[in-house]
């Protein structure tokens, strides 16, 4: 039963990450902010929802998601949604890996965003 839930989560996670990264990279390549923003909102909304769902599962004793999966979503564009989920739901706030990596992911994603904006404005 747990293996089926984990496999279902991995399929959904990979689908959301692939679709959002496709939107963001397409928007970045074609200098259109709309698909980029849609992909960014999608991945960060998913990251927040996953953190809130995992917190609910932790309280109720249900199926938990692996920490590596949560960090993967944060690393591939969902850093701000994961950070917001950590703060709003008080989830994973005592884990050193989350306290260090999630802000680093956010900073790296901000640097990429500002670099892209600076490049587009310079033209």
Nearest to 50 by CA among 24, 80, 77, 81: 81
Alpha-carbon distance of 84 to 15, in angstroms, equals 22
The pLDDT tens digits for 24-55 are: 999 888 888 899 999 999 999 999 999 999 99
Q: How far is CA 66 from CA 49, 50, 113, in A?
A: 15, 11, 28
Each residue's pLDDT tens digit, 56-111: 999 998 889 999 999 999 999 999 999 999 999 999 999 999 999 999 999 999 99
Task: Measure the CA–CA gap between 21 and 14, rounded to whole angstroms.
Answer: 10
Read off the pTM: 0.90
Would you say the C-alpha torsion 24, 48, 82, 15 has a positive or negative sign? negative
Query: How many Å apart are CA 119 and CA 88, to the nearest integer?
Result: 34
Angle at 8 between CA 18 and CA 68, to 5 degrees: 65
**In the 8-state DSSP scheme, what is residue 66?**
-
The contacts of residue 89 (CB under 8 Å, 6+ apart) are 51, 52, 55
């Amino acid at each position: 039963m747990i293996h089926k839930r984990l496999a279902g989560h991995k399929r959904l996670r990979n689908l959301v990450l692939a679709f959002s990264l496709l939107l963001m990279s397409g928007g970045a390549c074609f200098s259109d902010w709309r698909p980029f923003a849609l992909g960014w909102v999608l991945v960060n909304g998913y990251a927040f929802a996953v953190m809130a769902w995992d917190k609910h599962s932790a309280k109720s004793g249900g199926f938990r998601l692996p920490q590596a999966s949560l960090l993967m979503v944060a690393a591939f564009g969902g850093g701000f949604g994961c950070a917001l989920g950590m703060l709003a739901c008080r989830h994973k706030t005592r884990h050193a890996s989350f306290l260090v990596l999630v802000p680093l992911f956010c900073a790296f994603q901000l640097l990429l965003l500002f670099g892209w904006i600076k490049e587009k404005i310079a033209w």
